[in-house]
Chains A and B, each alone.
Chain A
Amino acid sequence: MIGKILAVFRYELKQSFGIGPTIIWLLIILFPSALQFLINLRLGGAGSVAIEDAGMLVVVLIPGAVCLLNALMSMSSFLHIELEGNTWPYVAVRSQGKVAMMFGKYLVAVTRSMAAGLFALMLMMPLTSHALETDFRLLVGVTAALIALSSVSYCSLFCLLGVIMHKKPLIMAVIYMVAFEGVISILPAVVNKITIHYYLRSMLIRWMDWKVFDLPILSDPNIFSLESNTPLDLFFLAAINVGCLVTAATLLVNKEYRMGEAI
């Protein structure tokens, strides 16, 4: 099984570096730096910026946007591409082929998402660090950890969405992302605990030792798991990941996918 997953990983990784996908990938990487550059121009280099302000921007833009967008684009349409490209039957007639294909593509999506996040961080930090009041190394470390968690988690989530809504995966994934990760995750209610963003931002303020009321945005304590701790948050995040991947694999194995209209 591992050999099959690695075979898919090798093939799909090469496939993912075509001209079109690479240009989009680079544009997403450059987006946070470009935005930070424009902010710096606006500030004109005058004065310093609170680390909460600059840090929130880094975290919102990189694990929250770069990684999420990469995960969405790489993973949500993984099944749709096979079905539309008429290659699904060749996957389906291989022993454990469906699951191997899913995990192979999942690894590619996580790799691309993490790499994009780390590149974006490397580009953004020089533009941010000069304005920070304090040492930014902690912020870099925390952001890197959040990039890893964000990539793994969003890829799992979009993997499941791609299996459930395989006919219009990108549209459905964007709707889900806006509705759940955008709106529901910032509602001061229990329902926000089912979103990935809730756990990521909770770990951010805990690791950075920030006070919720000092935050420039999202300064409501009800939208953070302040009473919790990091191992518990990681446990919930892992449960969401495993749940998404196991459900996706189970659906893939048990569901019939009919291609075209051939009878």
Chain B
Amino acid sequence: MFTADRLTKLYGIVVGVNDFSVDVGQGSYGLLGPNGSGKTTLLNLMTGQLKPTVGSLYVAGETPWKNNRLLEKIGFCCALDILQTKRSGLEWVTLYTEMLGYRHAIALDMAHTALDRVGLSRADRVRGLDQYSRGMKQRCKVAQAIAHEPDLLLLDEPFAGLDPIARYELTSMLTNWVQEGRGLIVSSHILHEVETICENFLLMMNGRLLADGNVSDIQSMLSDVPRKVWIRAERSTDLAIALQASGTVDSISFHDDSGGLEVTTFDAVLFGQNFAAMILDNGIEVTELHSEDDSLDSVFEMLMRIHRGEA
């Protein structure tokens, strides 16, 4: 779907994307990272709005910069809110569909279909955009991106401003989009929604690619990383001594509040197997026990810690 080789984009002295190399096949990808990690810059490079400073980028086998042919195959929704227009959502989506080269009557039909698909009602779509909520504008932005049924859909923070129902509807629409075999890249920091839609992930920080692959691939990369377990017990000092003696933990630290322990272990399975027997043998009452789960959230948190040299 796209290939980057040492892709770098500088804004003066600010680094947008830094030495980014990846080869991404057809499918659905979640582009994840904190604010300022370079997600928007990468999408802008992919849509030909920006020119790489160094390195190369190919989308569907073509360089995006000043490539009109490629633009016809792409649908793009940017993260920023639409401002300063009194025209209706329908007119707005129709305009951008006409600007793809469709005649007015055809573009109007395509705009209606796209707005139906994103769930903007017939009554709402003829109101002025300046009267829309952020969620309604978001639906319009997605509609203009999908109206021409592109091969590759690039969405920058598409869930921003959507209420739970709209989020669910957009998630369903995008899931169907992926099931139809079309390409999708979704940039987001709402991880669980991306996890629902996308099979694969690109994790970025400071303009660099931290990791890519599906959740299992990323977890396997983290097999050597110690996992954290949080425990609250009445006799926390005795528990710490017993844990140290068990040889299943790497480090133990006490929370500021009494009774809380943060334990790191390289072998979470062995730790789990021994823990119950250990507290029974020592007569320690544990009131709380939880570990990092396997969600993308925790995987991402771990990668961040590795990147920062904390793990």
A and B form one complex: yes
Residue pair B101, A93 in contact (C-beta under 8 Å)? no
CB atoms of A3 and B85 under 8 A apart: no
Judging by beta carbons under 8 Å apart, are B14 and A263 in contact? yes
Residues of chain B lying within 8 A (CB to CB) of residue A137: none
Q: Which of B43-51, B225-233, B243-251 contacts A (4 or more CB under 8 A)?
A: B43-51
Question: Which interface residue of A11, A15, A93, A253 has the most chain B CB atoms within 10 A?
Answer: A93
Main secondary structure of the interface of A (DSSP, over half): helix
Beta-carbon contact of A260 and B80 below 8 Å: yes
B273 interface residue, CB < 8 Å from A? no
B264 at the binding interface (Cβ < 8 Å)? no
- Whether B103 is near chain A, meaning CB under 8 Å from some CB there, is yes
Assuming A15-B85, A85-B83, A90-B96, is B71 touching A256 (CB within 8 A)? Answer: no
Give CA–CA (A143, B36) in the complex, Å: 56
A258 on the B face (CB < 8 A) = yes
Q: Across the interface, which residues of B come within 8 angstroms of A84, CB to CB?
A: 83-84
Query: Cβ of A89 < 8 Å from any Cβ of B?
Result: yes
Chain B residue at minimal CB-CB distance from A90: B96
Contacts of A11 in B (CB 8 A): 87, 91, 95
User: Which A residues touch B40, using CB under 8 A?
Assistant: 262-263
Chain A hits for B81, CB < 8 A: 86
Q: List, in ascending order, chain A residues with CB within 8 A of B87's CB.
A: 11, 14-15
Give the contact-size bracket for chain A: 20 to 34
B82 touching A258, Cβ below 8 Å: no
Q: A4-B99, A95-B71 are in contact. Are A89 and B82 (CB under 8 A)?
A: no
Query: In the bound complex, how far is the Cα of B101 from the Cα of A135, in angstroms?
Result: 51
Contacts of B218 in A (CB 8 A): none
**Residue pair B86, A18 in contact (C-beta under 8 Å):** yes
Nearest CB in chain B: distance from A12 CB, A: 9
A228 nearest CB across to chain B (Å): 40
A262 to B68, CA, bound (A): 24
Q: Can you list, as one digit per residue, whether each of B11-29 has a CB less than 8 Å from chain A (1) or not (0)?
A: 1001010000000000000
Minimal beta-carbon separation of B65 from chain A (angstroms): 9
Contacts of A91 in B (CB 8 A): 99
CB neighbours of B91 from chain A (8 A)? 11, 14
Within 8 A of A (CB), among B82-141: 82-87, 91, 95-96, 98-101, 103-104, 107, 141
Known: A3-B103, A262-B80. Is A95-B47 also a contact (CB below 8 A)?
no
Task: Give B residues with C-beta under 8 Å from A.
Answer: 11, 14, 16, 36-38, 40-41, 44, 47-51, 66, 68-69, 71-72, 74, 76, 78-87, 91, 95-96, 98-101, 103-104, 107, 141, 144, 207
Q: Which 7 A-B pairs have the closest CB atoms?
A: A7-B98, A95-B68, A85-B84, A86-B80, A89-B78, A94-B99, A262-B40
19 A/B residue pairs, CB under 8 Å, sorted by A: A7-B95, A85-B84, A86-B78, A86-B83, A87-B85, A89-B44, A89-B47, A92-B47, A93-B71, A93-B76, A94-B99, A95-B101, A96-B68, A100-B99, A262-B40, A262-B80, A263-B16, A263-B36, A263-B38
